């Protein structure tokens, strides 16, 4: 009986001894991951091999250096130009002071000339006024005056700034406790009518040609602004003048302002009041004198009618 050769298996070859260590083998063979290697190569190509944080630090350092350079340069330029600026400033200050001093000198000269003109006008009026020279000088405000009289003080209401006192409508506008030019006009005309011989408001002498006007909330007397309280001095028989004025329509008008709108007023007779002369005298008309002319003919005629517009 012949023997048959043994049957061999045709299956897969036996596994390699290191087959179970394929992962470790792969790590050994490829120490650097392909994706990481690609990213590292791209970063090296873009940044010249410098890490991003290092590039940011270098950029910040460069910016700081540039800023320091600009500041240093600006400080150096300012230090260089500082003497020039200081010199120009000093020159400007000196020029302002010089011009201010010049303006003050001119103002004093104008005031001195105005005073001189007024004195000459008063002397001429007294010299050529005849028997009525003193009366004309008094009525025209050409000379200072003193004598018995009254002192009348008119002031705004206490709560004027807060808008109290109630509205007062007149001539298309309202007022809330402020003294207006029309109020002072009535006061002055009332004193003239009551027998005042001379009147001044806050030291401003009134004449026949004086005007009391308004500019906003300010009261102007002959274009000079006055501020409250308004102190009115009038020369005359003190007691009689005070009583007559308070009983007159203008005195009652002032009383209504006090009662209804809070305007503060006070009046008292004085043993002596002093009124300055008017700043200047304006003669409207003049007539040549004739030899032997009487006192009624007068060498010069000045408009001395009482009343304030």
Any idea what the CATH number is for the domain that residue 186 is in? Answer: 3.30.70.1880
Q: Let me know whether 76 and 134 are in one domain.
A: no
Q: By CB neighbour count within 10 A (0-12 exposed, 13-18 middle, 19+ buried), where does 193 fall?
A: middle
What pLDDT was estimated at residue 193? Answer: 93
Phi-psi region of 290 (alpha: psi -120 to 50; beta: other; left: phi over 0): beta
Same domain, 136 and 264: yes
CB 178 within 8 A of CB 160: yes
List of residues 6+ apart from 166 with CB closer than 8 A: 176, 177, 260, 261, 262
Same domain flag for 251 and 175: yes
Output the CA torsion sign for 71, 73, 79, 83.
negative
Based on the domain organization, do 67 and 109 belong to the same domain? yes
Listed residues 70, 87, 113: the one ending a domain: 113
Separation between Cα atoms, residue 174 and residue 131, nearest integer Å:
49
- Of 78, 113, 148, at which residue does a domain stop? 113
Terminal Cα distance for the chain, rounded: 170
Q: How far apart are CA 208 and CA 284, in angstroms?
A: 11
With a CB cutoff of 8 Å and minimum separation 6, the contacts of 215 are 225
Predicted confidence at residue 269, as pLDDT, reads: 87
Residues 235, 228: contact at Cβ < 8 Å? Answer: no
Q: Please choose, from the candidates 142, 140, 119, the residue with its C-alpha nearest in 3D space to the C-alpha of residue 209.
A: 140
Domain-embedded: residue 204: yes
Domain identity same for 59 and 157: no
SS3 (DSSP) at 38:
helix
Reading the block at residue 204, the tokens are 């401003």
pLDDT value for 174: 44
141 and 271 fall within a common domain: yes
Report d(CA 19, CA 63) in Å as an integer.
58
Cα–Cα distance for residue pair 168/254, rounded to 1 Å? 14
CA separation for the pair 307, 139 (Å, rounded) = 11
Same domain, 166 and 49: no
Summary mean pLDDT of the chain: 75
This prediction has a pTM of 0.53
DSSP state of 9: P
Q: How far is Cα 73 from Cα 266, in angstroms, rounded to an integer?
A: 72
106, 134: one domain: no
232 and 192 within one domain = yes
Four-point Cα dihedral 297, 302, 308, 309, nearest 10:
110
pLDDT tens, residue order, the chain (309 aa): 445 555 554 555 666 655 555 655 665 565 556 666 666 667 666 555 556 677 777 778 888 888 888 888 777 777 777 677 777 888 898 889 889 999 999 988 988 887 787 777 777 766 766 666 667 667 677 778 889 999 999 999 887 654 444 444 444 344 568 899 999 999 999 999 999 989 999 999 988 788 899 888 789 998 889 989 999 999 999 899 999 999 999 999 999 999 988 999 999 989 899 998 887 666 565 565 544 333 333 333 334 344 455
User: Cα–Cα distance between 228 and 160 in angstroms, integer?
Assistant: 12
Q: Are 261 and 169 in contact (CB under 8 A)?
A: no
**For residue 108, which phi and psi values (nearest 5 degrees)?**
-65, -40
Domain span at residue 57?
31-113
Q: Do both 140 and 241 map to the same domain? A: yes
Same-domain check for residues 245 and 152: yes
Residue 167: per-residue pLDDT: 45
């Amino acid at each position: 009986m012949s023997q048959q050769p043994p049957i061999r298996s045709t299956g897969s070859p036996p596994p390699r001894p290191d087959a179970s260590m394929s992962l470790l083998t792969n790590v050994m063979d490829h120490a650097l991951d392909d994706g990481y290697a690609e990213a590292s190569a791209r970063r090296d190509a873009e940044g010249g091999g410098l890490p991003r944080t290092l590039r940011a630090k270098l950029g910040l350092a460069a910016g700081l250096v540039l800023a320091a350079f600009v500041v240093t340069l600006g400080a150096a330029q300012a230090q260089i130009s500082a003497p020039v600026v200081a010199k120009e400033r000093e020159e400007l200050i000196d020029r302002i002071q010089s011009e201010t001093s010049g303006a003050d000198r001119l103002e004093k000269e104008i005031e001195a000339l105005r005073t001189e003109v007024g004195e000459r006008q008063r002397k001429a009026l007294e010299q050529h006024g005849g028997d009525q020279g003193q009366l004309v000088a008094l009525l025209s405000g050409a000379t200072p005056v003193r004598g018995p009289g009254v002192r009348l003080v008119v002031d705004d209401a206490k709560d004027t700034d807060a808008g109290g006192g109630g509205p007062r409508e007149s001539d298309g506008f309202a007022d809330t406790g402020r003294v207006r030019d029309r109020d002072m006009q009535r006061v002055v005309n009332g004193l003239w009518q009551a027998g005042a011989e001379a009147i001044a408001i806050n030291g401003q002498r009134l004449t026949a040609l004086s005007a009391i006007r308004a500019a906003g909330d300010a009261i102007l007397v002959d274009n000079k602004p006055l501020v409250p309280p308004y102190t009115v001095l009038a020369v005359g028989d003190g007691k009689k003048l005070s009583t007559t004025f308070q009983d007159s329509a203008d005195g009652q008008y002032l009383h209504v302002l006090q009662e209804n709108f809070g305007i503060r007023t006070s009046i008292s007779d004085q043993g002596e009041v002093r009124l300055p002369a008017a700043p200047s005298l304006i003669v409207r008309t003049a007539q040549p004198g004739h030899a032997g002319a009487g006192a009624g003919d007068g060498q010069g005629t000045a408009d001395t009618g009482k009343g304030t517009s």
